[in-house]
């Protein structure tokens, strides 16, 4: 089953940095993996305004599961005022920074995914202490500093169940193409002996838990 034209049209209206080819790959992989794990929990680390959440959430809905979306919604380093990826529409006058929470909730409501997506409004490290169990699908697209990326990998990837899939976004082998932390945790996953790479779509890497 593929994404409907209505879903694709809606996704195009959502703010975010997810390439359409990568987004469709997320949907396809989540649907494929979760069809073998009925009602297995899925987790997304880093949702921003919800574009990737809708891609994954549509697959999760079809498989009867839930998607836990972890994000403090204050943005990554590059999303702050004065930085390259700051969006004035998301400026938060109360903090002087940014907040994507209101737009994220509007996105999920507009996609009719409020009965599928469970938002956890907290940093990755804190959320890892309250989200329990193993996962069929894990998507890491959180903070791109080295400490943040290491937290996302070390605290969450070990909980992907055997046969489940870990997806990592913004993996750039060439330093000129992007930041290093997602690439570094991708290499850690491969070197661990617990994951094998099964698919590459642009900067998106899919690894199956052995």
Catalytic annotation on 72? no
The two structure tokens encoding residue 119: 């938002």
Which of 72, 73, 144, 169 is labelled catalytic? 144
**Cα–Cα distance between 203 and 93 in angstroms, integer?**
33
Active-site amino acid positions = 144
């Amino acid at each position: 089953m593929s994404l409907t034209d209505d879903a694709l049209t809606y996704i195009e209206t959502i703010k975010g940095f997810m390439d359409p080819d990568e987004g469709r790959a997320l949907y396809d992989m989540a649907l494929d993996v979760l069809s073998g794990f009925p009602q297995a929990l899925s987790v997304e680390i880093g949702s921003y305004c919800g574009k990737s959440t809708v891609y994954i959430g549509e697959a999760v809905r079809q498989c009867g599961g839930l998607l836990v979306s972890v994000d403090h919604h204050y943005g990554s380093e590059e999303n702050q005022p004065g930085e390259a990826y700051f969006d004035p529409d998301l400026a938060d006058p109360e903090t002087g920074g940014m907040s994507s929470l209101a737009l994220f909730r509007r996105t999920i409501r507009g996609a009719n995914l409020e009965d599928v997506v469970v938002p956890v409004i907290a940093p990755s490290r804190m959320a890892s202490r309250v989200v329990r169990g193993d996962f069929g699908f894990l998507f890491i697209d959180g903070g791109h500093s080295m400490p943040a990326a290491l937290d996302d990998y070390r605290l969450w990837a070990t909980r992907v169940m055997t046969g489940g899939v870990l997806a990592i976004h913004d993996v750039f082998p060439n330093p000129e193409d992007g930041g290093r932390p997602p690439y570094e945790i991708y290499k850690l996953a491969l070197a661990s002996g617990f994951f094998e790479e099964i698919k590459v779509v642009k900067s998106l890497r899919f690894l199956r838990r052995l």
